[in-house]
C-alpha cells in the first residue's frame, strides 16, 4: 500500500498501489531500508506529497534522486535539514534566486516553507542507498512519479513546471505546455551552473505566471 498521509494524493494514487509493479517496488525499497542505510528517513519518503496537497500545487520543481548522506535528504528535492551544510546545487539555486529576485542567501537549506506554499519538490526516485546515487533507480520509482506528473498535467489550474537538467527536461513529454508553464534550464550543479542557470529567472517567471492566473505568488524568501 502507498504510505501517503495526505488524503487527496492517497486517493489519486491508490490505483498505482494496486498495479503489479508497485508491490515489487515497495518490497524492494523496504528490504533496502531494513538491510542497509537509506535516505530520506522512511517516514519522509512521501513528504513532498504530504506537505503539498494536489489541489494546492502551484509550482513543481523536479529533481532526480535524494541526497545520499546523513542529515541531508528530508523528502523534498534539493532541500536539506536545517543546520546541514548546503550542497553545491542548493548553493547555486540560492545564487540564482538572489540574481533574479534579490533574495539574500543564508545557511538554511530546508525548503519546507516553499512546499507549504504550493511548491511540489518532487524527486523522480524517492529513495537512495547511503553514498550511492541512483542506487534505487531500477526499482520503478520513475513509473510512480511519472504518474504524479500526469495527474498534475490534468490539474484544473495551470501549474508552473521547472525542469532543470537533461533528466528533468525529459519529463516535458508528460506536460501540456499550452496549458501549463514549462520552464527549462541546465542543472544547478557546479558543472553546468554558469551555462545559463544563474540567469534563467525561473522564480520571477513563475510568480508572474501565477499572478496572471489570479494565484498568490510564492514568497521564495520564506523557507521554514
Helix 88-101 with 202-212: angle, nearest 10 deg = 60
Do residues 197 and 205 touch, judged by C-beta distance below 8 A?
Answer: no
Q: 65 catalytic, yes or no?
A: yes
pLDDT surpasses 50 at 173: yes
pLDDT surpasses 70 at 2: no
Do residues 175 and 161 touch, judged by C-beta distance below 8 A?
Answer: yes
Q: What is the pLDDT of residue 144?
A: 97
Which residue out of 50, 65, 100, 142 is catalytically annotated? 65
Residue 1 — very low, low, confident or very high, per pLDDT cuts 50/70/90? very low
Gap between the Cα atoms of 157 and 52, Å rounded = 15
List the grid coordinates of 157.
489550474
Sign of CA pseudo-dihedral 210, 218, 55, 148: positive
Q: What is the pLDDT of residue 191?
A: 86
Q: Which of 108, 116, 110, 120 lies closest to 46, judged by CA?
A: 120
Residue 5 — very low, low, confident or very high, per pLDDT cuts 50/70/90? confident
Gap between the Cα atoms of 219 and 203, Å rounded = 10
- Model confidence over 22-36: pLDDT tens digits? 999 999 999 999 999
pLDDT surpasses 90 at 112: yes
pLDDT surpasses 90 at 105: yes
List the grid coordinates of 39.
535516505
Amino acid at each position: 500500500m502507498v504510505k501517503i498521509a495526505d488524503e487527496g494524493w492517497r486517493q489519486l494514487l491508490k490505483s498505482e498501489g494496486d498495479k503489479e509493479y508497485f508491490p515489487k517496488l515497495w518490497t524492494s525499497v523496504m528490504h533496502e531500508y531494513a538491510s542497509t542505510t537509506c535516505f530520506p528517513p522512511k517516514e519522509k519518503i512521501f513528504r513532498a506529497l504530504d506537505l503539498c496537497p494536489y489541489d494546492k500545487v502551484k509550482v513543481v520543481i523536479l529533481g532526480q534522486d535524494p541526497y545520499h548522506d546523513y542529515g541531508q535528504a528530508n523528502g523534498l528535492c534539493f532541500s536539506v535539514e536545517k543546520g546541514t551544510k548546503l550542497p553545491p546545487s542548493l548553493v547555486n539555486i540560492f545564487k540564482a534566486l538572489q540574481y533574479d529576485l534579490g533574495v539574500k542567501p543564508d545557511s538554511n537549506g530546508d525548503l519546507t516553507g516553499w512546499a507549504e506554499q504550493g511548491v511540489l519538490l518532487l524527486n523522480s526516485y524517492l529513495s537512495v542507498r547511503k553514498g550511492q546515487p541512483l542506487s534505487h533507480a531500477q526499482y520503478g520509482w520513475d513509473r510512480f512519479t511519472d504518474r504524479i506528473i500526469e495527474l498534475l498535467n490534468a490539474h484544473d489550474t495551470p501549474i508552473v513546471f521547472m525542469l532543470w537538467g537533461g533528466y528533468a527536461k525529459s519529463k516535458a513529454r508528460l506536460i501540456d505546455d499550452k496549458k501549463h508553464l514549462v520552464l527549462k534550464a541546465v542543472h544547478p550543479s557546479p558543472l553546468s551552473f554558469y551555462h545559463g542557470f544563474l540567469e534563467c529567472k525561473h522564480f520571477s517567471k513563475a510568480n508572474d505566471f501565477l499572478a496572471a492566473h489570479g494565484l498568490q505568488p510564492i514568497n521564495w524568501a520564506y523557507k521554514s
